[in-house]
Structure 1
Amino acid sequence: MEGRFDYGLNPKKLGAVSAYLCDPSTVPAEFLLVKSQYQAETARPVERGTLFFQIRQAFPPGEVTAEEANKIGYETAMRWTKGKYQFFVCTHTDKGHIHNHIYYNSMAFDCSRKFHNFIGSSFALRRLSDRVCIEHELSYIQNPKLHSKGRFLHYGQWIGEKPPSAQQRVRLAVIAALEKKPADFAVFLRLMEESGFAVKHGRGGMISFLASGQDKPTRLRASTLGAGFDPEDIRAVIAGERPIPELPQDAPAPPRRVDLVIDIQQRMAQGKGPAYARWAKVYNLKQMAAALQYLREHELADYAALEASTEAAVDRFHKLAGELRDTEAALSKTARLMEATVDYAKTRPVFDGYKATRYSKKYLAQHEAELAAYRAAKAAMNEILDGVKLPKIDTLKKSRRELAEKKKALYAEYRQAQADMRQAVAVKANIDHLLGVTDGRENKAQER
């Protein structure tokens, strides 16, 4: 840590420096003090794991001064850490281009948490840095160079491949164990143990795997490892009912949502003060920067393209909403028919007995509830079938299962389409506000 910090604070390279919740002259001791307090309060060891994180942020030659670059680096670090972690920014001027070295502690200043790097963090950090540069009217890399796997080049390639996470190690071990074609689930667990994982059995049959050097076990479930890694999925693979699951691809972090800009004049007329006006101007600037970034990322070069893209997003959302309603109605109808069929089968012998007694009043009094259930089930079946022949129960079960799977898939598409629509409509509304496109009418997409 001291070696890295000495490099950043080297006076021969340093053009400007700033810090948050620490003093650059004593920063190694201050970082370690927070770590010792974290260990004392949580009883969790801090010897293992990352001591600190570093961000490098560079600018084209001649675009900014050292002081301006340092200010931008400080704002980037503050927004990235949300003000919860100590950091300091060293701006170097020893190269042909001015660049920042941003160092921040891996422990929160209030000792409440550790910073865990997440999948897609490089995308999220690049997006944040780009947005800060747009807000300060600076350039940024619009077409980042990609390597063969389709991801952006990042610092990890200069220091070698980053070791896989605990979850990724479990996924790889699960796939390797399944490729050996175990006879049953018990053999699968034994193969996992042989590959170096301790198998933990928790409440409710929950199974977890703990690797050497790992603090917390990783649960075997789809919400943790991804689709296809549930115990039921593993059993289905062993039984030959489905293929071996694939490794999930690292996805970029979702973009920050673009909100509608504030009509400052209208709010001032409602009694808001100068402080609110200053805040609203900064807020509107950030929303416009986000809208500009959205247009560039989606290659919307003119207003007509933006209008068409927004309308397409709105139409796709409503199309999926209608398809989802139809699927839910079909699923409900199938479930009601299955329930009525089961009730009918259970109560039919009672009705046959009632019929055999020539509709005896005494028999009716003894089995009134069963006969009422029979009539209700028969009426429900006639209403649902509407003259169509009753399918077999196995056919109904298969239909219900397929409809449930379709509904689940549609819900995922529906939620994404809803987010895309809201984003597109907000961006278009902001651009309309910027261009003064009102012509006395409400925007059709916004209204919908």
Structure 2
Amino acid sequence: MTRLATLKHINSKNADYGAAEQYLLFEHDEFTMKPVLDETGRLIPREDYRLSTLNCGGEDFAVACMRANLRYGKNQRREDVKSHHYIISFDPRDGPDNGLTVDRAQELGEKFCAEHFPGHQALVCTHPDGHNHSGNIHVHIVINSLRIEEVPFLPYMDRPADTKAGCKHRCTDAAMRYFKSEVMEMCHREGLYQIDLLNGSKNRVTDREYWAQKKGQAALDKQNAPMIAGGITPRQTKFETNKEKLRQTIRAALSAAASFEDFSSLLLREGVTVKESRGRLSYLTPDRTKPITARKLGDDFDRAAVLAVLEQSAARAAEKAAAIPEYPRHGETGIQPTKAPQTTTKQDGVQRLVDIEQKMAEGKGRGYERWATMYNLKQMAATLNVYQEYGFTSPEQLEAAVDTAYQEMRQTSGKLKTLETELQGKKELQQQVLAYAKTKPARDGLRAQKSEKARAAYRQANESDFIIAEAAARYFKAHGITKLPARKALQVEIEQLISEKDGLYNTYHEQKQRFKELQTVKRNIDQILRREEPHRRKEQSHER
């Protein structure tokens, strides 16, 4: 399910804090979420993990949480949210490509927890793989919903109680957006793979749908097993949820429709009614009484995306109708339709040629020479394929393309650095604005004092607040800021910069891959030409 770094949140009303730790330390069934037992009925420890606690005072996490709850009289009712569980899941490629290890992921998780959940008792645990065995390293952060210390006012907080000891953590939509932006920023900072987590997804698959698909696939595989064993090919081998079937039905209707009326009619033939309310689309299937909103299916199915596809289909239909030529009669000459050129599938992973003579001089044997000869032949073919695919006609043209690719990569890198500097500046401004806002009660209290003596005593009693306020005021003056920006507007601006940085980072990664590929092709072409030069010189001497 997870392919790039993502952030997931689950809240729990379970009063047994030990259950969270048990899940992190021992194997659990992916469908029932119950512990897996061995033949003797004992829990099976996970093969590899890293585990640490924060703010527990040397006590067990469960004991520390229960003591805190009793001390503040919180989390005593069944309906209270007792803990919050955040999961940061990294891309499986981050290990081999970017050097991410379980230990490094644990460090990142501990730092993320300390920065964004200060004052909360927490468990931080890193696993090297997920239940789907894709190799994605992921970090579990489990926090007690109760805060045991007063903390600074953080960007995702929106009320004074969010900083006070004895109050509870709230995972609001604004908080999740902030956490996602911080995960994106962390991945960029560490050089890890990342996508834009702030702007939705084309196919939105919820946890419930994901697990329904997994369970359905397991049941279907079990049902098909006897038929496959008997040499019979099952009719259905892939299980699809009702939402996925609906997505396919909508896409099929979109591909055949040129207007919204056609789209509605085609869906109605399949028993699906499309409704529009307040500018939003929803889809009602025959087996339901409540329609499924486009938001639950994905961004590809909302009103704007659907109308955009229909508009493109209508434009293509008009162009096709206008471009249909009159066929020449028998015996007449005319322009014959030309076959569209086929592009060769791009070969991935062109590698440098091996210098066989050098390796043999280093002491390699005949077996290595045979392997290297075959390897070089394959790489030569791959190199020539890429050379032809790009349309190069000379080594000089290839060299110019390498230089251009390098300049493009450097230009994007410069833009990234500029954007990072701007983003860092905005974050510093945000910290100062938040710090200054937190001192407002102290500053207001100073104005209320009637005498100089009272003001001096008040300043001394609230000295730390005034130190923070004066430091922030100096920062604003040094940067020429006369009017403080709104906190929400500043957070939106930071998220936009992070999103822009994400797109630019992906562009840089693609340009870097292209530069490396062209550079490898150039080196291989140079080596091939150098090898052919002696043969050409020998042939020329024979001709003379």
TM band (smaller chain): 0.3 to 0.5
TM-score by length of 2: 0.39
TM-score by length of 1: 0.46
